[in-house]
Amino acid sequence: MQGLLLMATLAEISSFARAVLQTDDTDLTDEMLLVFGNDSTERIVNVRNIWPHLYSEGTLAVVASDGQYALNSASFTPQTFTYLESVWDDNGMGRSLVETDYQEATAFWIGNNQTESDSPGWFSIYGGNLYLYPRPSASRTYRVGGYREPTAMTTSGTSPDLPTRFHNAIQYGVVSLALAQTEDYEGAQYWAGIANQAVNAAMRAQFNNTTHRPAQMHGRGGPRYWWYRDWIRSMVP
């Protein structure tokens, strides 16, 4: 049986699970292991809202009089964003739109205030959609930065779309799911506990940054004023 992994492919995860369970590809098929591997990966991904390795940049094509765009629509390239943290116009000197709260924005940008502009200044993310305020009055392209969906494993040579220190937890989770499938719930619970311990250890190593960064100052040495997006990030563990 193989030991700890630095980086696991689906083939290595499958080999580990079969070795632990002392079975072969007849009782524990490649198709089952693919499902279990992606399930274990997704469970870890869902622990956090933001994973730095899933950050991606792309473009948004807006059209006149339309201030709402689904994050998974063809308006975005690539079309895999789940959350955006920045929208900017990189023409000329460039200009970043300011993120604002959706409820606050919709309370203001109504009636006569819901005008159109060739240069929207604010945006919000709500319900899987991007909203621009005011609505754009002409077609144009913006740059966007945000987080994509993790890529699922599809073949034996692919790896979980997570930092490598989480790959051990995934293989332990696969063993747990395989035991649950055979109705060995005591064994499944045991391996689930090992998987959870591995996830917790990896989380501490990955995200507990002990380096204290100096305060970021603006203007002539004045205090920093938080944007809405900074306030949101401060609440992410």
Q: Which residue among 148, 170, 185 closes a domain? A: 148
Average pLDDT for 42-65? 92
> 131 and 78 share a domain?
yes
In a domain, residue 223? The reply is no
44 — pLDDT class (breaks 50, 70, 90): very high
Q: What confidence score (pLDDT) does residue 230 get?
A: 67
Are 59 and 103 part of one and the same domain? yes
Residue 32 sits in which domain range? 10-49+151-207
Residue 86 lies in a domain: yes
Residue 63's alpha-carbon distances to 33, 119, 146, in angstroms, are: 44, 12, 21
pLDDT at 237: 53
Q: What is the mean pLDDT of residues 81-86?
A: 90
Same domain for 131 and 44?
Answer: no
Q: What is the total count of domains within the chain?
A: 2
Is pTM beyond 0.85 here? Answer: no
Q: What is the pLDDT of residue 117?
A: 80
Residues 91 and 165 in one domain: no
Asked whether residue 70 is assigned to any structural domain, the reply reads: yes
Let me know whether 172 and 121 are in one domain: no
Looking at the structure, do residues 63 and 144 belong to the same domain, yes or no? yes
Evaluate if residue 110 carries a pLDDT over 80. Answer: no
The winner for highest mean pLDDT among 37-41, 101-105, 223-227 is 37-41
Residue 92 belongs to some domain of the structure: yes
Confidence of residue 178 (pLDDT cuts 50, 70, 90): very high
- Give the mean pLDDT of the chain: 86
